[in-house]
Amino acid sequence: MQLFYETNDNTLIVKLKGELDHHVAEKIRVELDEMISNKRAKNLIFNLKEMNFMDSSGIGVIIGRYKNINKLGGKVAVVAVSEKVDKIFSLAGLYRIISKYKSEKDALKCM
């Protein structure tokens, strides 16, 4: 799993590449929490274009970051979700709390 990020005003945009599973979930969680804190991000966008797998540990990472951002009064969104990951998000009910957009540009408009 590789993690890339950039900021746009008070929004942290995180690009995940590879598999978000129990092998890397804790490391990714720690990195994301540090980025959110260091960048003073209020909103978070996950770009999942290059993420090809996620298990329940990955779902936990996403939900945990949602809870942290929600406490700050911010929003979390996902963009460029693959068909496989989209199915996981749907089955887990994540779209009830996290909005999905086609592009980062679209998501940024709604933050």
In a domain, 6, yes or no: yes
Domain that holds residue 87: 2-105
pLDDT tens-digit map of 54-85: 999 999 999 999 999 999 999 999 999 999 99
pLDDT at 106: 97
Confidence bin at 102 (pLDDT 50/70/90)? very high
Residues 99-108, mean pLDDT to the nearest whole number: 97
Predicted local distance difference test score (pLDDT) of residue 97? 96
Instruction: Write out pLDDT tens, residues 25-39.
Output: 999 999 999 999 999
Rounded-to-integer distance, Cα 87 and Cα 5, Å: 24
Residue 111 lies in a domain: no
Report the CATH number at residue 49. 3.30.750.24
Residue 76 inside a domain? The answer is: yes
**Position 15 in a domain:** yes
Residue 45 resides in a domain? yes
The structure's pTM equals: 0.94
Number of domains in the chain: 1
